[in-house]
Amino acid sequence: MPTPVATETPPPPVGKAVRVTVNGKTVAVFNLDGTLRGIDAACTHVGGPLERGPVAGGVVTCPWHGSQFDLATGAMKRGPAARGVTSYPVRVENGHLVVELP
């Protein structure tokens, strides 16, 4: 059963992303035109910071070597990463991000 974990971080503005740490796990939270998406912040290639990557069409590009991940599912769209990242449901409660961990 998913565990909702509250943070002290407000949601990022539209078109931006933030990195939050929940129960020792780093999650990149993106605001896509008001829809929040959460995925592992560390790229599965060698740990690039995905919250700093450019986003287009619901896909983030790792700023280090260009791997791409679908923000809705975490699925890998392009290497050099060999696998996708985990995605997490994210919502806002009382002005702060809440991330649901599996």
DSSP class per residue in 35-101: EEEEEESB-TTT--BGGGS-EETTEEE-TTT--EEETTT--EEESSSSS---EE-EEEETTEEEEEE
How many chain residues interact with ligand FES (CB under 6 A)?
12
Q: Does 81 bind ligand FES (CB under 6 A)?
A: yes
Question: Could you tell me the maximum CA-CA distance found in the chain, to the nearest angstrom?
Answer: 39
d(CA 84, CA 102): 16
| Contacting ligand FES within 51-70 (CB under 6 A) | 62, 64-67
| Contacting ligand FES within 22-41 (CB under 6 A) | none
Within 10 angstroms of residue 76's Cβ, the number of other Cβ atoms is 19
To ligand FES, the closest distance from the beta carbon of 44 in angstroms equals 8
To ligand FES, the closest distance from the beta carbon of 37 in angstroms equals 18
Pick the binder of ligand FES from 5, 25, 26, 45 (CB under 6 A): 45
Pick the binder of ligand FES from 11, 12, 38, 48 (CB under 6 A): 48
Task: Return residues touching ligand FES (CB under 6 A).
Answer: 43, 45-48, 62, 64-67, 80-81
